[in-house]
Copies of this chain bind each other. A is one copy, B any other.
Amino acid sequence: MTAAPNDTFLRALRRESTEHTPVWLMRQAGRYLPEYNATRARAGSFLNLCKNPELACEVTLQPLKRYPLDAAILFSDILTVPDAMGLGLYFADGEGPRFERPVRDEAAVSQLAVPDPNDSLRYVMDAVRTIRGALGGSVPLIGFSGSPFTLACYMVEGGGSDDFRRIKTMLYSRPDLLHRILEVNAQAVAAYLNAQIEAGAQVVMIFDSWGGVLADAAFQEFSLAYTRKVLAGLKRDRVENGQSVRVPTIVFTKGGGLWLESIADSGADAVGVDWTVNLAQARQRIGARCAIQGNLDPMSLMASPDQVRAEARKVLDSYGTPAAGHGHVFNLGHGISQFTPPDNVLALVETVHQHSREMRRRGG
């Protein structure tokens, strides 16, 4: 990677003017890319891939070789932190992540401790350093973590869930226990993201994948309050080439469209929004509080390239041209589907760049 440094993404997050709308895609290094599947096959398993910094670097860079994306995102799993807590992460065939030792009672909660990110999560920091080196400043690298609540979902349920019965039973019947888990998680996530920042992550994103399953008041109390604690605990500045550089933060709550104002008030620099949100309305509701990231339906990438281009333009037109104090980062409203035709991603990224430049020229 020897391209000239592209800081469009960072400028959009700082709500400075940009020549085009930056774009990256959640899960952009993933199963829709044949080269990803080849590397994963070589690694032997998804977890091996996550835990091998060289291979994690390799797959992180794959989409950037195909598409003129404006950011790279660390290839890793959302559940590295509870794994480092000793819960025993594994992947059952075709079943998604599971934990050998879920956290369901007072005894298990009492044993939870904040892992040292430079010890049991050292492989993640090694991957961050390796990727930064390989990127050579071409585009910024995003580090990430699951939110305290989203991690707790997996820790209590022991894996994915349709109804979140176990964690909600704890929430409604033993809120004290859940608060204790979330307190540990918030400290662990802050330490984990700070270590990623020290290792070279230039932006950090908190994925609150499951906050949207909560009732309105419960979301505030059990999810957003702990995301706030993480944000408050972050070192927002890092030293790069002897200069202090601010590290922007992004919070994405899938299904959080009703709570945009309070998420925007959490202290994050940008709020991610899924496709259920009307982007023009979201921009109005958030105002100049922070930037917005989103919000194309990943399934629109299953159509023809021309239809993909049309949908991309609709998202850009819905946001409009960023005014002073506003910022838009184009993204999907969720991870890209493994069934996406790779050529459609090229159509998408090129259209975002071209159409957003055109909008700025027109002053629209």
Measuring CB to CB, which residues of chain A are less than 8 angstroms from any residue of chain B? Answer: 163-165, 168-169, 171-173, 212, 214-219, 255, 257-258, 275-279, 295, 297, 299-300, 302-304, 307, 311, 314, 333, 337, 339
Known pairs A217-B314, A255-B255, A258-B278 / 17 extra A-B pairs, C-beta < 8 Å = A163-B299, A164-B299, A165-B299, A165-B302, A169-B303, A172-B297, A172-B299, A172-B303, A173-B302, A212-B276, A214-B275, A215-B275, A215-B295, A215-B333, A255-B276, A257-B257, A258-B258
27 residue pairs from A and B, CB less than 8 Å apart: A163-B299, A163-B337, A164-B299, A165-B337, A165-B339, A169-B302, A172-B297, A172-B299, A172-B302, A172-B303, A172-B311, A173-B302, A173-B303, A173-B304, A173-B307, A215-B275, A215-B276, A215-B297, A215-B333, A216-B276, A216-B279, A217-B278, A218-B297, A255-B255, A257-B258, A258-B277, A258-B278
**A255 CB contacts on chain B under 8 angstroms:** 255, 276
**A212 CB contacts on chain B under 8 angstroms:** 276
- Min CB distance, A285 to chain B, in Å? 11
- Min CB distance, A277 to chain B, in Å? 6
Given contacts A255-B255, A299-B172, contact A214 B163 (CB under 8 A): no
**A297 CB contacts on chain B under 8 angstroms:** 168, 172, 214-215, 218
How far apart are the CA atoms of A239 and B275 in the complex, in Å?
44
